[in-house]
Amino acid sequence: MRILVTGGTGSFGRAFIRDALTRHHDAEIVVFSRDELKQWEMQNSFGKSDLERLRFFLGDIRDRERLITAFHGCDTVIHAAALKHVPAAEYNPMEFIKTNVFGSENVVQASLEAGVKRVVALSTDKAAAPVNLYGATKLCADKLFVAANNITGKKSLRFSVVRYGNVMGSRGSVIPFFLSKAREGKLPVTSMSMTRFNITLKEGVELVNKGLAEAQGGEIFVPKIPSYRVSDLAKAIAPSATVQVVGIRPGEKLHETMITSSDSLNTVDMGSYYVIRKDSCSELVENMVPPGFSYSSDKNRFLTIEEIRKLIRENIKSDFMPT
């Protein structure tokens, strides 16, 4: 088995690769990314036995020929590379389109060309009913991967997508930001009413592994995960800090959605997760969600302040957390 991870030096990529080294003892794993410093730092974080099974491949998903070269000999591709900062997307729209849309199409075509068997692409809750450029590019990417199953011909190649919310502790996300600001005794909060989904890196990796094992092609896998109120997150991290309401940034939603009511005609409840199928489902399909069903962060199970605090202690390295 040979697994390639685009964006392999990112938060998810590093977590997935460590899991894959343990889960697949005979697998070779290719780390594909564009930053040589991050690759060098990542190489130094592994022992000799793991390094013998890792290959580091410099490249950009905007470069289709480079992707084709990297994909040759790979059975599985995990597509995690993306530009994802919401305000940056509003200011630099074409850069996000080139990476998140054109880059995703390059992954599709390179997979077809190189004989890859399975592709799982990472999506985001911002791709459902998007209001910002980042979400719109990820929705386009989702559509590209789902539609790619129509052009595989006789190839045994399956494309699928996993979609989830804010990853706890990922670079540039709100929790590390709050932890860094808490030392100053003041937390800038966009809105006291804002809610977000929450998933740990471990849970994100498990969902991708589920997609690899169960996808028939064209599905979007959506986990059942809790939400938190941003106001509760601030209290969990720094209960004595002063909260400064700064307003919602360009392109932000007050609440996030992972399944829209329009998706309900295609959505099946699988117990611990949902699957949005590429075609409308018959009413005879088991476990269909009710017509008009939607899955949003404000109508969900909310983590308590203590649950948030416990998850941060378990999943994020920080020397600033209340006891």
Ordered alpha helix ranges (H), 24-129: 36-43, 48-51, 64-71, 86-91, 93-96, 103-114
Evaluated on CA atoms 246, 251, 254, 258, the torsion sign reads: negative
Please check whether residue 1 is in contact with residue 28, taking contact to mean a CB–CB distance below 8 angstroms: yes
Catalytic position from the list 48, 98, 126, 317: 126
Q: Is the pLDDT of residue 320 over 70?
A: no
Q: Is the pLDDT of residue 323 over 70?
A: no
Q: Is the pLDDT of residue 120 over 90?
A: yes
- pLDDT (tens digit per residue) in 172-223: 788 888 988 888 888 999 999 999 999 999 999 999 999 999 999 999 999 9
Length of the chain: 323
Domains of the chain: 2-164+201-223 (3.40.50.720)
Report helix angle 133-147 to 103-114, nearest 10: 20
Query: What is the pLDDT, as a whole number, of residue 318?
Result: 65
Q: What are phi and psi of 309, to 5 degrees?
A: -60, -40
Mean pLDDT along residues 40-60: 95
For the question of residue 126 being annotated catalytic, the response is yes
Residue whose tokens read 């697994």:
3
State if pTM tops 0.85: yes
Query: What is the pLDDT, as a whole number, of residue 322?
Result: 54
Of the candidates 241, 231, 238, 244, the residue with the CA atom closest to the CA atom of residue 194 = 231
Cα distance between residue 15 and residue 312, in whole Å: 16
Looking at the chain, the whole-number percentage of residues with pLDDT higher than 90 is 80
Q: Is the pLDDT of residue 281 over 90?
A: no
Of the candidates 101, 103, 93, the residue with the CA atom closest to the CA atom of residue 66 = 103
Query: What is the pLDDT, as a whole number, of residue 319?
Result: 61
pLDDT band of residue 283 (cuts 50, 70, 90) is low
294 burial via Cβ count (<10 Å: 0-12, 13-18, 19+)? middle
Of the candidates 122, 86, 120, 118, the residue with the CA atom closest to the CA atom of residue 199 = 122
Beta-bridge mates of residue 221:
162, 275
Q: What are phi and psi of 32, to 5 degrees?
A: -110, 120
Of the candidates 172, 82, 154, 79, the residue with the CA atom closest to the CA atom of residue 112 = 154
What are 57's two structure tokens?
């491949």
